[in-house]
């Protein structure tokens, strides 16, 4: 069986490793049964589909479509994935990931969902914003204003700050590149800014 055949036949499964007190408190808010949650094993042949299942299980909103997420884009080749999302309670959910095709196991071993409260994200916005945008002043100057608008969008704030872009935000990004005569690219125009934002979220 070729690598492509093994990849196509592989099924990924994810199972919660542990449920601490903060995670139990989180479960109380959306009325998720901790017992059922601990016993649940999710399966899918596609990485993005399994991640979507996990976030839906946690009743996370404002991340879809995950294919538009800067966090997903930068971690496609990372075996230990970490996703920051907005939720009602600050906590971390760590899932063990297993592959039915064992030689593919090293490609994805775990995923950690770090839930950030709206108050935490607001703190980052209010106290760390100057530092964030001072950091990127040396980057592509013509794009800075539009990127700031997306990152601090008051209507879709958590999406912009965490890089889980909506369809409308993605259209703005594409138009941004078109106006400066550049092809659509993540690596030089999007990732540097959002990497700094996520660093500040982690610090808080």
Cα dihedral across residues 21, 23, 24, 30: positive or negative: positive
pLDDT at 133 over 90: no
Parallel, antiparallel or unpaired: strands 80-86 and 110-116: parallel
Domain boundary among 49, 81, 116: 116
Average of per-residue pLDDT across 123-151: 70
Confidence of residue 143 (pLDDT cuts 50, 70, 90): low
| Same-domain check for residues 146 and 95 | no
Range of the domain at 196: 122-203
Q: Are residues 12 and 47 in the same domain?
A: yes
What pLDDT shows up at residue 41? Answer: 95
Regarding whether 179 and 140 lie in a shared domain, the answer is yes
Per-residue pLDDT band at 70 (split at 50, 70, 90):
very high
Give yes or no for residue 157 having a pLDDT over 90. no
- Do 133 and 170 belong together in one domain? yes
- Give residue 59's region: left, alpha or beta (phi > 0; psi -120 to 50): left
User: In 10 A of CB 173, how many CB atoms?
Assistant: 22
Share of the chain above pLDDT 70, in %: 88
Residues 141 and 58 occupy one common structural domain: no
Q: Verify that 100 and 198 share a domain, yes or no.
A: no
Task: Work out the mean pLDDT of the chain and round it to a whole number.
Answer: 86
Looking at 98, 116, 134, the residue that finishes a domain is 116
User: Is there a single domain that holds both residue 16 and residue 112?
Assistant: yes
- Provide the number of structural domains found in the chain: 2
Rounded to an integer, the average pLDDT of 190-201 is: 85
Res. 129: pLDDT tops 60:
yes
How large a percentage of the chain has pLDDT more than 90?
45
Domain boundary among 90, 116, 142: 116
Residues 98 and 147 placed together within one structural domain of the fold: no
Verify that 55 and 146 share a domain, yes or no.
Answer: no
pLDDT in tens, 99-108: 999 999 999 9
CA torsion angle 145 149 151 152 (round to 10): 130
Is 135 in the same domain as 109? Answer: no
* Same domain (yes/no): 127, 178: yes
Q: Give residue 137's pLDDT.
A: 54
Are 153 and 186 found together in one domain? yes
CB atoms inside a 10 Å sphere around CB 66: 17
Assign 69 a pLDDT band (cuts: 50, 70, 90).
Answer: very high
Whether 118 shows a pLDDT value over 70: the answer reads yes
**The pLDDT of residue 73 is above 60:** yes
């Amino acid at each position: 069986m070729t690598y492509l055949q093994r990849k196509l036949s592989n099924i990924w499964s994810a199972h919660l490793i542990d449920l601490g007190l903060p995670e139990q408190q989180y479960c109380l808010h959306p009325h998720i049964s901790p017992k059922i949650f601990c016993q649940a094993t999710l399966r899918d042949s596609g990485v993005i589909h399994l991640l979507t299942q996990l976030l839906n299980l946690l009743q996370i909103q404002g991340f879809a479509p995950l294919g538009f997420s800067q966090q997903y884009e930068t971690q496609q080749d990372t075996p230990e994935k970490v996703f920051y999302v907005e939720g009602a309670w600050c906590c971390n959910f760590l899932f063990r990931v297993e592959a039915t095709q064992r030689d593919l196991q090293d490609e994805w071993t775990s995923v950690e969902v770090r839930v950030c409260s709206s108050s935490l994200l607001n703190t980052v916005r209010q106290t760390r914003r100057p530092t964030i945008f001072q950091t990127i002043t040396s980057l592509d100057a013509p794009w800075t204003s539009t990127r700031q608008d997306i990152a601090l969008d008051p209507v879709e704030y958590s999406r912009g700050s965490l890089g889980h872009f909506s369809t409308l935000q993605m259209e703005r990004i594409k138009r941004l590149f078109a106006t400066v005569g550049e092809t659509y690219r993540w690596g030089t125009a999007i990732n540097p800014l959002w990497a700094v934002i996520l660093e500040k979220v982690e610090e808080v």
